[in-house]
């Protein structure tokens, strides 16, 4: 079976899209080629790396990529994970892509104690994990 291509798009490709990328690889690496990108690149967020590690998923090897790097990829799915990316997304010429949008809570904007920041990343991670687990169940055979 040919793998499907999925793009997860966020503003900076540093946090939410990276967590989604990690879970999609975890849930469906045998069925998906996973790409994540931003309309800007902000590097990997240390909080995202740490919270994913707590769920035994390493995204340390990921890079922060700009959506233009994938101009030549024909996507089957394009998922925007924040309103800013959804509203400012450049045209992506994948003719038959199923386009989905879900505005996930942004933990990188939370200020406060380490405990409050951890709780914010945990909240976002759990929302993302649940959404993409359901996505895989609903959109992929297997």
Residue 15 known to be catalytic: no
Placement of tokens 């967020």 in the chain: 45
Contact 79/7 with Cβ under 8 angstroms? yes
Which residue of the set 6, 8, 9, 10 is catalytic? 10
- The phi-psi region of residue 56 (left if phi > 0; otherwise alpha if psi is between -120 and 50; otherwise beta) is left
The strand ranges marked E within 1-142 are 4-10, 32-38, 77-80, 98-101
Query: What backbone torsions phi and psi does residue 78 show, to the nearest 5 degrees?
Result: -130, 120
Which residue of the set 3, 42, 55, 89 is catalytic? 89
Which residue of the set 51, 82, 85, 97 is catalytic? 82
User: Using CA atoms, how far apart are residues 89 and 13, in angstroms rounded to an integer?
Assistant: 13
Indicate which residues carry an active-site annotation.
10, 82, 89
């Amino acid at each position: 079976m040919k793998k499907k291509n999925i793009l997860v798009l966020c503003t900076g490709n540093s946090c939410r899209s990276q967590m989604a990328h990690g879970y999609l690889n975890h849930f469906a690496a045998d069925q998906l080629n996973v790409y994540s990108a931003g309309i800007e690149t902000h590097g990997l967020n240390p909080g995202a790396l740490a919270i994913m590690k707590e769920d035994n998923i390493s995204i340390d090897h990921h890079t922060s990529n700009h959506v233009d790097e994938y101009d030549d990829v024909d996507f089957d799915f394009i998922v925007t994970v924040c309103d800013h990316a959804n509203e400012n997304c450049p045209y992506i010429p994948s003719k038959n892509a199923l386009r989905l949008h879900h505005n996930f809570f942004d933990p990188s904007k939370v200020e406060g104690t380490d405990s409050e920041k951890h709780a914010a990343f945990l909240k976002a991670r759990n929302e993302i994990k649940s959404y993409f687990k359901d996505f895989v169940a609903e959109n992929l055979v297997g």
